[in-house]
Structure formats: structure tokens, C-alpha cells
Chains A and B, each alone.
Chain A
Amino acid sequence: MTNIPYLLHHLLDERPGDSDRIALIDGNRSLSHRDLSRFVAGCATALRSAGLSRGDRAAIMLPKSAEECWAIFGISRAGGVFVPINPLLKPAQMRHIVVDSEAAIVITSRALFETVSEALVGVALKAIVCAEDIIATPTNLRAAPDDAAIGEDLAAILYTSGSTGGPKGVMLSHRNLLAGSRIVIRYLEITERDRILSILPFSFDYGLNQLLTAVQQRATTVLFTFRRGDELVQALSDYSITGVAGVPTIWAILTRGSPLLRRTSLRALRYVTNSGGAVPTETVGRLRELLPDTRIFLMYGLTEAFRSTFLPPEQIDERPTSIGKAIPECEVFAIRPDGRRARPGEPGILVHRGPTVALGYWKRPEDTARVFRPHPFIAAEQGGETVCYSGDLVVEDDDGFFSFVCRNDAMIKSAGYRISPTEVESALMATSAFDQVAVIGLPDPLVGQTVHAVAVPRTEIADTTPILQSLSDQLPAFMVPRTIELVGSLPTTPNGKIDYRLLREQRSKDVVA
């Protein structure tokens, strides 16, 4: 490479051999890196003619597909900011993201066009573009020479939930994304020989990072969705996959619900990575047994800092519950409630500093000020920069390895998804069936936490199934409570607020037993 990339789409700048290397496999289709570049250029042209200007947001509402990949890079090339939307979201959440990000353009598919248009009635947009109408440019035009953007410009907004309210947009610059890609390439040692299986959504920083690393290294990304564990094993084998990223639930499916794995030798599988929650030690053990030659990377990250820590695979037998140490180029440490640095053994909030720290939450100065704070020990006038306060309680051991303890707030994490209890509570209250509701996360070996609702019914309710059914039309499946527990009243704290801690403590005991 002659030029060092500083914008996301620079990763596609032509290199010798691009036409021979497969970039994407999507079902029956496979695209070379050159093909991908041509579609990206075509996408940028289409977006410009649809009115996209520098800095405009373009939302992507597409299933995992080659189209979604070229939309991500195409928006960057057109000077825009991409906002990927998880295709599992229902119209109301999709609308929230498009409205909140003030997107100018939405890219979707013909199949989804009607749903998307209906969900966005009354929203001021320049255009809704169907991915099928985007055509590749005949030649791979070099990155537009009129690139006015610089690396500090916003490249993406990734929506994620916290402990309250609707999803917030995490702002990532081109430099953030390129740092994330470069760093992960380094410790996973990704090369052009890798064949990476992509099963996580690109709306999730961890899933997106897989695509960026693969494109940067001219590796192959295999786009895949599956229903049963055995289909996943089959894909790992059929495509000679060398690396896969997953969340704890996926490892549970692979080790407990995929009998084919025992009969399949995945010789090519060089590494697997976990993020989005802790893998139960028992599952780590099963993975080690079933994939003895595969390196297992336990990682930790949050969208606000893109990627944050990883445990070197050779440490996994000794420290199966650790999230490791900071990724290259970054530093993490734990801060006690009194603001001092936590000593080994003392729990503290994980603070992350480095080039992956996001620019803040889109149009939410208060939330931004809470999470993106000045360096706690180095004053700004002495070079201290903005760091990220994760809200995750961790503890460091004597050798400098961190372990996750728990969230420091009410946010629920289920199957890798961050869920805001208040968002689920609002949906429950909107059914008019309850006087009061409280939504909590209960420990669960498969998904980390399950969403549990405790509710005071307005009138007697014999069966909550119909309510859960109607809720399932309003909320994506991962947000729908597993159960609605009916009670006469909710416990309150001396201040008169709902006592969430007590609710959790009472129920966690039952579940663990």
C-alpha cells in the first residue's frame, strides 16, 4: 500500500491481486475485492445523486448481505455517516433510529421497501434507496480524489441501549474505525489467508469490526445466518472457516445443541473470539475440549470504546473468567467510587483510553458528559484527553488481568444485546394492562440475563400470553420479557422509588437454585 488509509473506504484502495481474491461470500454469490470496490463506488455515486452531502447520515436497513457491506463503505465514500440498523428491529425502533440520527437517506431492499416506507411515514428524508438499484461502476475508480473528509470526521453512528430510555447513537470517527480494525488485526493476526464467518449483525461494533479487518487484510468474509447449531458447524466446515466471532449464546449453541461438532474436525478453524458477555467457565471447558486446536480469545468491548480488552488464548485454562488486558494501543484501569485507582482485588469501574474512544453520543450532551470524561489523573492542560467510563464493574488480579464483576446500573445484557429496562417498561405500560411495572435482568446460563417483568395488573389477568404476543409485535424478540410475573404491589425504597435491587435479589436466588 502506498497510501496509509485515513478514511474508512481507503481500505478498498486498489491493490494488486484484488480481482483474484474473494471478499464476500453471500449464499451463491461471491465477490472479489475488486467487485466489492466497484459496487462501493457505484453506491457512492447513487447516494450522491440521491442528494447525500458530506456529513449526512444514511441509515442502512438491510439483512446481512453483500449489499449491506457495500452500503457501509459506499456511504463513507460518498462522504456520509452510516447508521446500520439491526434488521431484527420492529418498525417503531427503526423509526426511532432514523428520526434520532436525522438520516437523509435510508438504504433498504425491495423486499423491505414497503415496511420501511410505512414505518417512516412523515419523516423528512431525501430518499429511500433500494440496494438492488445500485449498480457497480464499470471500473474500480480510485477513491474519489475530491475527498474533502478527514479522519476526525464522523464515519458511523451505532445505536446501543443503556440503563434508561431509547437507544443512543454512539459516534465513531473514521480514525476510531480504522484504529479498531488495525488493533484487532494485530492481536488476531488476520491475514489474506483468513476466511472469516460473519454471523453477528453489522449494527454491533464487534460484528462490524470483523468486516473491516477482513477487508483491510483482503481476507474473505462469509456472510451467514443459521437456525440450528449444526448448520453453523456445517458452514464452518464447508467454507474452511479460519476465524469466527460470537457471543456467549453462540458458544452455548455450538457446545450443547450441535451434535455434528463432535463428528466434525474443524482443522482450518484457527481462532474463535467471544465478546458481548462472559462465557460460563463450563462452556469454555467444552469449547476447549471440542476445539482443541483452536485458539479462544475472550474479549471485552463496549460500543463507546469500540473494542477494549482481550485475554491471550494461552491464559484461558488458567484464567477462564478473565477479560484479559487492554488491546494494543489502549490502556484500561479500574476506578473506585471515590475516584481513586482501584488496587488489585478491589472492584472499580473500567475506564478505557486510546484511539478507539468514540466521539460521544449523538445529540446527547448529558449522556456524553457522563461516559466520556476527562482523564481522571492527567489534567487537560497537561495533555490529559477524553477517556471512556464503561459503567462495568471489574476487578484486576495481581498479574494485571481484569475480570468482569457486574454492571454498575440497571442495564440488562441478554444474548449479547444491551437492553434498557425502561424501554421495555414503556412498551408494557402502553398495553394499558398494568398499573405499575418493573423490568429486571435475571441470571441465565444461556443468555447471561433474561428479561423479567414484575407487574401490578390493572384488572385481574388470568393469562399473560396474549400480552406477550402483542408485545412481540412491538418489540424485537430479544427485548420481550421471558415472563410477566403478576404481583399485588412493587416494593419501594425509603424514597418511594421502585426497589429494583430487592426485586433482583429476591428472584436471582430462586433462579440460581
Chain B
Amino acid sequence: MTTVSASPVETITAAITDYLRQRFPRLGPIGETTKLLGSDVIDSLGFLELLMFLEKRFGVVLDDADFDTSNLETAKRISALVERKLRDKHSVPSASPA
């Protein structure tokens, strides 16, 4: 998983949109700002699959705080979250800013 940590946000976004396009064809053409949660395409199972994809592909595990829907609204938001998680993971744990 260490190689992925170097990924710029764009690469992450591309991987996520690619996955979404394949897995949820009914979303139609999707861009990085296509709304994911409002549509009825991604159901509860789809949502879990998306989380597991992120876990497998990027090695990030989402915790309570990440489950805020605003973090998961679009591919762009998701990749920002993933990028943040990857950065946290590889930085030395320190007193977190408030």
C-alpha cells in the first residue's frame, strides 16, 4: 500500500470514478462532482461496497467521523477524504489540531 500514498488527488479521483462507472452503470456518465448519495442508484449495499473498495484499493479504513455524508457526496469529496486519510496514516501521530 505504500506506493499508493504518493498518489496525487487526481489519480485517486480517477480510480474512484472508474470504479463507480463500472459498478454503478446506472449513474450514467459521471464526473468528479456527480452527486452520488441523492440518486437511488447506490443503495445500502452499494454504499458498503464503495467503502470496501476504498479499503482494498487505498488501504484506508473509514471511521465514525468520516461517515459524515458531506465527505461522501461526490467522487471529488471522497478522494479528498482518502487523500487526507493517507496523509494521516503516514505522518507521525501527534497532538491533533482542534
Contact = CB atoms under 8 A, between A and B. Distances in A.
Given A465-B21, A468-B25, A477-B26, A230 B48 contact: no
B14 to A, nearest CB: 15
Contacts of A252: 48
Interface in B7-59: 21-23, 25-26, 28, 37, 41-45, 47-49, 51-52
Contacts, number: 62
A467 to B, nearest CB: 8
Contact of B63 (A249, A250, A259): A259
A256 B25 contact: no
Nearest to A470: B25
A373 interface: no
B44 A253 contact: yes
A29 interface: no
B28 A446 contact: no
Contacts of B62: 259
A476 to B, nearest CB: 11
A447 B45 contact: yes
A256 B26 contact: no
A415 B25 contact: no
B48 to A, nearest CB: 4
Nearest to B26: A472
B25 A259 contact: no
A68 to B, nearest CB: 19
A500 B94 CA distance: 55
B39 to A, nearest CB: 10
A86 to B, nearest CB: 13
Interface stretch (A17-25, A156-164, A221-229): A221-229
A177 interface: no
A388 interface: no
A126 B18 CA distance: 48
Given A257-B51, A263-B64, A249 B26 contact: no
A32 to B, nearest CB: 30
B40 to A, nearest CB: 9
Given A256-B52, A446-B49, A482 B44 contact: no
Contacts of A468: 22, 25
Contacts of B69: 228
Contacts of B51: 256-257
A94 interface: no
Contacts of B47: 227-229, 253, 257
Nearest to A232: B44
Residue among A253, A263, A480 with max Cβ neighbours from chain B (10 Å): A253
B25 A226 contact: no
A382 interface: no
B37 to A, nearest CB: 7
Contacts of B25: 465, 468-469, 471-472, 480
Contacts of B21: 465
Contacts of A447: 45
A250 B41 CA distance: 17
A469 B26 contact: yes
Interface in A58-88: none
A256 B48 contact: yes
A370 to B, nearest CB: 32
A446 B44 contact: no
Interface string A439-456: 000000011000000000
B67 A446 contact: no
Contacts of B42: 227
Contacts of B64: 259-260, 262-263
A483 interface: yes
A228 B45 contact: no
Contacts of B41: 477
Contacts of A472: 25-26
A226 B43 CA distance: 8
Contacts of A262: 64
A225 to B, nearest CB: 9
Contacts of A446: 45, 48-49, 52
Contacts of B67: 228, 230, 259-260
Nearest to A414: B45
A286 to B, nearest CB: 13
Interface of A: 226-232, 249-250, 252-253, 256-257, 259-260, 262-263, 415, 446-447, 465, 468-469, 471-473, 477, 480, 482-483
Given A253-B45, A477-B41, 16 more contacts: A228-B44, A229-B44, A231-B44, A252-B48, A256-B48, A259-B67, A260-B64, A262-B64, A415-B45, A446-B49, A446-B52, A468-B22, A477-B26, A477-B43, A480-B25, A482-B23
Interface of B: 21-23, 25-26, 28, 37, 41-45, 47-49, 51-52, 62-64, 67, 69
10 contacts: A226-B44, A227-B42, A228-B44, A229-B44, A256-B48, A257-B51, A260-B64, A446-B45, A469-B26, A482-B23
